[in-house]
Amino acid sequence: MSDIIARIRERARQNLQLIALPETEDERTYLAARKLVDEGIARIALIGEVSKVEAKAGEVGVSLDGIEIIDPTDETVLEKCATLYTELRAKRGMTIEKARKTVVDPMFCAACLLKLGDVNGSVAGASHTTPETARPLLQIVKMAPGVETASSCFIMTTPRTDLGVGGAFIFADAGLVPNPWPHQLADIAIASAESARLYLECEPFVAMLSFSTAGSADHPDVDKVREATKIAKKKRPDLNIDGEMQGDAALIAEVGDKKCPGSKVAGKANVLVFPDLDAGNIAYKLVQRLTNGGAYGPLLQGLAKPGMDLSRGAMVDDIVNVAAISALRAGAGM
């Protein structure tokens, strides 16, 4: 486990939050829930029918002591979740009858409970795709004030302790927005800076990546990054955001000094914003595999409350780590 992740777990312990785990058909959920409670990282609410949760826990061999169960079919839970969902989707023709059928799904129930404040965070995605995980959150929790774009980031840890924050970086977007427009890319940069400040406990230095550095090439793809950089700087002049720049200029001081003289970001970036999902996804997987580094995410950004996604290949410790991250974000009011 990286020092960054160990530190996140410890910070979560200092301000215990109630995290919903709705994927109660998956044995990994029970093993992670037990570990989270036993290690005092978070309080846990399993979202599912009580009889089915108890049966699955027995099958897996996990005690439910100290773990809350919230049953979506319980009439009190069902009524308040259905009422909320009806109100939020009324303009799209939602009726209370349709809503009741929808919110018995633990994924939608968890999102409603998060919106209502009955839980502080939620984590899913081990057995659901990113669209399946994100859809209830986008429909119910919605975006944070002033944010128009939902995105994701990865906490990356590498052996190169001379780069980033002791070898750690934020990579974005590597999981959600395929081909962002300039204003979306600007939102991703701003959200990622705040993620770096929270997760890495650092002053963010955000590099807007491209195959061009400071005008070395002309192409519509480069124009997009330049425009996004301008928008991000205008929206948040207090942040260290610069671009467009190539990866080596962002990371290596001597290259940054040569290619981007005077830049506050070049050569010391700890947040790397990729121009599209192809670049971000390929980069994080290559860094993870070639450096034997850590990749924690995709961590959803921009939501009003911390609903988090997982890779479907997630191990039990991955669920524990992302739950700790969700708890940390909840404790910070993000």
Do 60 and 171 lie in one domain? The reply is: no
Do 73 and 203 lie in one domain? The reply is: no
Which pLDDT value is given to residue 53? 97
For residue 46, pLDDT beyond 70 = yes
> What letters, b where the CB count within 10 A reaches 16 and e where it falls short, cover 76-112?
ebbeebbbbbbebbeeeebeeeebbebbbebbbbbbb
For residue 131, pLDDT beyond 90 = no
Average pLDDT over residues 77-90: 95
Domain assignment present for residue 298? The answer is no
Which pLDDT value is given to residue 117? 95
The token pair at 97 is 């009858």
Average pLDDT over residues 90-116: 94
Domain assignment present for residue 299? The answer is no
Rounded Cα distance between 245 and 229, Å, is 11
Average pLDDT over residues 258-273: 94
Length in residues, the chain: 334
Do 23 and 128 lie in one domain? The reply is: yes
Which pLDDT value is given to residue 1? 58
CATH classification at residue 234: 3.40.50.10750
Domain assignment present for residue 296? The answer is no
CA nearest to 329, candidates 312, 305, 313: 305
Q: Could you tell me the pLDDT band of residue 175, with boundaries at 50, 70 and 90?
A: confident
Which pLDDT value is given to residue 311? 82
Domain assignment present for residue 308? The answer is no
Do 128 and 207 lie in one domain? The reply is: no
Do 158 and 125 lie in one domain? The reply is: no
Query: Could you report how far apart the first and last alpha carbons of the chain are, in Å?
Result: 24
Which pLDDT value is given to residue 71? 97
Domain assignment present for residue 135? The answer is yes
Do 55 and 162 lie in one domain? The reply is: no
Mean confidence (pLDDT) of the chain: 94
Residues whose CB is less than 8 angstroms from the CB of residue 260 and which lie 6 or more positions away in sequence, other chains included: 213, 214, 242, 245, 249, 266, 267
Rounded Cα distance between 49 and 160, Å, is 46
CATH classification at residue 105: 3.40.50.10950
Q: Could you tell me the pLDDT band of residue 130, with boundaries at 50, 70 and 90?
A: confident
Q: Could you tell me the pLDDT band of residue 297, with boundaries at 50, 70 and 90?
A: confident
Domain, as residue range, for 91: 3-142+316-331
For residue 333, pLDDT beyond 90 = no
Do 279 and 177 lie in one domain? The reply is: yes
Do 136 and 162 lie in one domain? The reply is: no
Do 44 and 176 lie in one domain? The reply is: no
Percentage of the chain lying above the pLDDT 70 cut: 100
Do 137 and 156 lie in one domain? The reply is: no
Paired sense of beta strands 151-157 and 294-301, if any = antiparallel
Domain assignment present for residue 56? The answer is yes
Could you give the C-alpha distances from 184 to 116, 204, 224, in angstroms and in order? Answer: 28, 19, 10
